[in-house]
Amino acid sequence: MADHHVADVLLLLPLAQLYTYSIPERLRGKVRRGVQVDCPVRTRRAHGLVLKVRPPSPADPPLVDVAEVVTTRPPWPEDLLELLDFVSTYYVARIGQVARAAMPSLFARRSPKPEAWVRIATRPDKLPRSPKDVLVLEAVEAAGRLELPAARVLVPGGADVVKRLLARGFLAIEEEEATPAPAPAAAAPVVVRPEPTTDQAAVLAQIGGAIGNGYKAFLLHGVTGSGKTEVYFRAIEQVVAAGRGAIVLVPEIALTVELRRHIEARFGGIVAVLHSAMAQGQRAAAWDAALAGRMRIVVGPRSAVFAPVRDLGLVVVDEEHETTYKQEEGLRYNARDVAMVRAKMAGCPVVLGSATPSLETFQNAHAGKVTYLSMPHRVRERPMPEVRFVDLRYEPPVGAERLFSRPLLDALSATIGRGESAILFINRRGFGRFVVCSACGAPISCPNCSITLTHHVKPDRLACHYCDHQVPVPERCPGCGSSEVAIYGFGTERVEDEVGRLVRGVRCARLDADTASAGGIDAILAGFRRGDSNVLVGTQIVAKGHDFPMVTLVGVLLAEQSLAFPDFRAAERTFQLLTQVAGRAGRGETPGQVVIQTFEPGQYALRFAAAHDFLGFAVVENRIRRERGYPPHSHLAAIEVSSPDPAEASRAADEVRDYLDQFLTLEGAGTRGGPAAASAILGPALAAIERIKGRTRMQVLVKTRRRAALNRALWRLYKLVGPGRGRTRIRIDVDPVSLL
Ligand code: ADP
Ligand code: ZN
Ligand code: ZN
């Protein structure tokens, strides 16, 4: 088109701004959407991505010419560009912010400083001084080498530990060359592929039939150990044989060592695995290899959904229910949802796999938007573990800390005595406390929102952080009148200390967000696998896909810790966590048992988890969500308003609330009309974590049945208030997952 000689260009600079350039005669036809160009920026030059080529408009400022087309990088795939547009609109974010989240290393400093790594030095003739030293050394050894910043956060006070280890000659620094050599394209080694089970064959027939035939979404619901990975692999083989590519999303690459090993063995030189310990340079190299079509398969955590895989033929989301798919900072997108859109834009199938699918995906399957596939049996006929409840109302906890009941202690002693291992599961980190009645077992919850009230000190009270309902801490249970009400909430450290005091022969290791990080996890898990420790105390992290054949007992300290979580998804999370953690028991030849301590053994999430009955749980939970107007039967957005000054935060939050109310009314989705109203606005309320880094956090929550109207109202709000003014910050979270 002759008059199309203006280009909108996204500059690949840290600010990721959109600039407009004119296209000189000699470059017309070459500067196209998706191509990278070299452009003058003030006195320098910078690379940019062409997003649009169009006729000039009177609104354009005086323009300078694009300098050159970059020919070393092929154009970005059109489905990826469309995805960036979609994500920008849907999540109410500027395109630059989206692109930066999609490919951070392309927007990094222009001439990156060589990155520093630590590796094991020739070991001097002395021993490391502390357990922390040992942990760090093991982590570095396991990883081969670690980026310096990653090494510094392996353990609390890690920066000092690393400094000491460097000074004493245990560790050495090495600097990365500016352009890392790409991985050699090794020929795929020959591997033995297991013959598919009946379940696998049936599922593969359906997925295989969809490959090459446009967009189609599948929910692969397979119990733990049913062999979902082999299904993904065979589907990928078919895609690769047809000359196309695949994206495999995993919740957290550091936790999927096994998968990494298997996929590399199976697909050799055409797979790029992205993980958290990778340097920017390596990531950029992987990105380029995918863009050039050298890497046909990209495996990685959420940002891999934006990988520039060419001729995309399949997208896989493993453990689709995982909350780690939601990015909670910067661009707050959900990679599971974005993966479905990516597949739609590429015109290929997407497979969402899980043993405990999210209610959102379950509802999509129910509504026919997603095809439900099921693998109800474990490979090799291993039985599901036996689940037993300890009712804390009748078996009160003993010991100084009152964490363990007699039956759980007995089970632990017996397990250790047989030389087997146990996992003790704390189903959340030790912050946020709540009140439970030890007579009737009920946690105290908000009458408006049916979420558990959180205990706050100063002043001593219980508060709902959805609607701001507040009550004093009651002396008697509002349900049964008993005076046996107590405040609960504890963390891993107390459990680790106490189990060592109460059970003979325990060698305890602890795995939680403090001790975990790329190398930390590997080192701790390797120690547990070797038998250095025989009890592993941990949070969510221990629940994920590990295979520990020697674990025959899983103890859950207090089911209420996740059940009473102040979140409308608390029951769903509890069901998922208990199912996952139970899946860790009895993976070897000896059958496993699960012991769950709780005040409320009759609670439906607990009962269905014990019976390994996902569909039963989903049907009940789905009905409750519909009754209460929560997703998947409504759409949510959370607006977080924060400021160092509490009064300012509160004032700004009120303003946000009023604007939203009016914008929703303008869009015909207002809050008036009582229960029949299209939308409801909750709050402003103090967030459950009321202050972070000296800022007071308020939250406004919007619930609506009209997603498009909400999206337009949020854009009006964003254009009006932006990211906040002065010291006030405003963050829009569409389809929020964590509401803390
Ligand atoms: P899931 O992800 O569904 O929990 P995995 O994919 O981890 O299950 O598979 C569980 C185990 O079964 C793995 O050790 C895997 O190698 C093995 N496996 C998978 N498919 C087969 C098969 N068809 N025949 C034999 N073993 C299999
Ligand atoms: Zn009671
Ligand atoms: Zn409430």
pLDDT tens digits, one per residue of 592-630: 889 999 998 999 999 999 988 999 999 999 999 999 889
Residue 318 CA: nearest ligand 1 atom is: 2
Distance CA 251, CA 301 (A): 6
* pTM for the whole structure: 0.81
Residue 418 pLDDT: 92
For ion ligand 2, residues whose CB falls within 5 Å: 437, 439-440, 477, 479-480, 482
Tell me the two tokens of residue 246. Answer: 């695949």
Distance CA 529, CA 552 (A): 13
Task: Give residue 266 CA to ligand 1 midpoint distance, Å.
Answer: 14
Tell me the two tokens of residue 124. Answer: 């001097």
| Cross-strand pairs, 11 | 48
Q: Whose CA is nearest to atom 23 of ligand 1?
A: 196
Task: Give residue 615 CA to ligand 3 midpoint distance, Å.
Answer: 29
Ligand in nearest proximity to the CA of 356:
1
pLDDT at 663 over 70: yes
Ligand in nearest proximity to the CA of 476:
2
**pLDDT tier at 544, thresholds 50, 70, 90:** low
pLDDT at 407 over 50: yes
Q: Is the dihedral of CA 556, 588, 550, 193 positive or negative?
A: negative
Residue 228 CA: nearest ligand 1 atom is: 3
Pocket, ligand 1, Cβ cutoff 6 A: 194-197, 200, 222, 224-230, 379
Eight-state DSSP code of residue 549: T
Q: Are the CB atoms for 703 and 635 separated by under 8 Å?
A: yes
Task: Give residue 443 CA to ligand 2 midpoint distance, Å.
Answer: 8
Residue 222 CA: nearest ligand 1 atom is: 3
Residue 276 pLDDT: 65
Backbone φ and ψ of 560, nearest 5°: -60, -25
Residue 375 CA: nearest ligand 1 atom is: 3
Distance CA 671, CA 705 (A): 11
Ligand in nearest proximity to the CA of 191:
1
In the chain, count H helices and then E strands: 21, 30
Distance CA 23, CA 28 (A): 6
Residue 101 pLDDT: 85
Residue 191 pLDDT: 67
Tell me the two tokens of residue 135. Answer: 């942990």
Task: Give residue 322 CA to ligand 1 midpoint distance, Å.
Answer: 20
Winning range, highest mean pLDDT, from 14-23, 430-439, 519-528 = 14-23
**Which position has the token pair 């080498």?**
145
Task: Give residue 628 CA to ligand 3 midpoint distance, Å.
Answer: 12
Task: Give residue 688 CA to ligand 3 midpoint distance, Å.
Answer: 12
Ligand in nearest proximity to the CA of 382:
1
pLDDT at 540 over 80: no
Residue 197 CA: nearest ligand 1 atom is: 23
Q: Are the CB atoms for 560 and 393 separated by under 8 Å?
A: no
Q: Are the CB atoms for 49 and 80 separated by under 8 Å?
A: no
Q: Is the dihedral of CA 375, 377, 382, 386 positive or negative?
A: positive
pLDDT at 186 over 60: no
Q: Whose CA is nearest to atom 16 of ligand 1?
A: 227
Task: Give residue 477 CA to ligand 2 midpoint distance, Å.
Answer: 5
Task: Give residue 566 CA to ligand 3 midpoint distance, Å.
Answer: 10
Pairing state of beta strands 551-556 and 593-598?
parallel
Task: Give residue 525 CA to ligand 1 midpoint distance, Å.
Answer: 21
For ion ligand 3, residues whose CB falls within 5 Å: 446, 448-449, 464, 466-467, 469
Task: Give residue 306 CA to ligand 3 midpoint distance, Å.
Answer: 37
Residue 443 pLDDT: 79
Helix (H, G, I), strand (E, B) or coil at 490: coil
Residue 434 pLDDT: 76
Comparing 635 with 739, the larger pLDDT belongs to 635
Q: Are the CB atoms for 328 and 731 separated by under 8 Å?
A: no
Pocket test for ligand 1, best of 237, 263, 374, 379 (most atoms within 8 A of CB): 379
Comparing 709 with 547, the larger pLDDT belongs to 709
The whole-angstrom distance between residue 383's C-alpha and the CA centroid of its chain comes to: 30
pLDDT at 185 over 70: no
**pLDDT tier at 297, thresholds 50, 70, 90:** very high
Winning range, highest mean pLDDT, from 18-32, 274-288, 415-429 = 18-32
Comparing 543 with 283, the larger pLDDT belongs to 283
Residue 657 pLDDT: 96
Residue 111 pLDDT: 42
Residue 519 pLDDT: 60
Residue 429 pLDDT: 42
Distance CA 346, CA 214 (A): 8
In terms of Cα–Cα distance, which of 685, 679, 568 is closest to 634? 679
Residue 589 pLDDT: 65
Tens-place pLDDT, residues 115-162: 577 877 765 556 677 777 877 777 777 666 677 776 776 777 788 888
Tens-place pLDDT, residues 305-361: 999 999 999 999 999 999 889 998 889 999 999 999 999 999 999 999 999 999 999
Question: Among 195-199, 384-388, 718-722, which stretch is predicted with the lowest mean pLDDT?
Answer: 384-388
Residue 200 CA: nearest ligand 1 atom is: 23
Ligand in nearest proximity to the CA of 204:
1
Pocket test for ligand 1, best of 197, 230, 351 (most atoms within 8 A of CB): 230
Interval 484-488 mean pLDDT: 78
pLDDT at 653 over 80: yes
Task: Give residue 612 CA to ligand 2 midpoint distance, Å.
Answer: 28
